[in-house]
């Protein structure tokens, strides 16, 4: 099993959080999946982490199909929050890190 990590670089506003929660719940409702998508506040880890209301999480994947579903869901979350910059780190893809904005990779 490998992990896919994801986080926003900016604080998430309430409207964006509502959109993210809806996509997260849609993904998590799929009972055939081993793990769920999580979105914790960065300040839940350490009080000093900034921005406090940025979100982060990780999901364990067991197969290429699960990996693809998580990556596509994170891209949908990025598309739903075009103001935010997302960092996606896939341990199983050679430790590749991708930055997303508006659902698309950025340089």
Which residues neighbour 52 within 8 Å (Cβ) at sequence distance 6 or greater? Answer: 11, 41, 42, 43
**Is the pLDDT assigned to residue 10 strictly greater than 90?**
yes
Whole-number pLDDT of residue 48: 60
The number of folded domains in the chain is 1
Of 100 and 65, the one with more pLDDT: 100
Specify the pTM. Answer: 0.88
The boundaries of the domain holding residue 73 are 2-106
- CATH code: domain of residue 87: 3.30.70.100
């Amino acid at each position: 099993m490998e992990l896919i990590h994801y986080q926003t670089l900016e604080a998430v506003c309430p409207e964006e959080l509502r959109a993210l929660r809806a996509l997260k719940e849609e993904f998590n409702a799929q009972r055939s999946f081993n793990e769920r998508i999580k979105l914790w506040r960065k300040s839940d880890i350490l009080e000093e982490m900034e921005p406090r209301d940025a979100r982060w999480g990780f999901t364990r994947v067991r197969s290429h199909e699960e990996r693809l579903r998580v990556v596509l869901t994170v891209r949908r979350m990025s598309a739903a929050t075009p103001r935010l910059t997302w960092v996606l780190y896939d341990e199983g893809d050679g430790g590749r890190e991708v930055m997303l904005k508006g659902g698309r990779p950025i340089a």
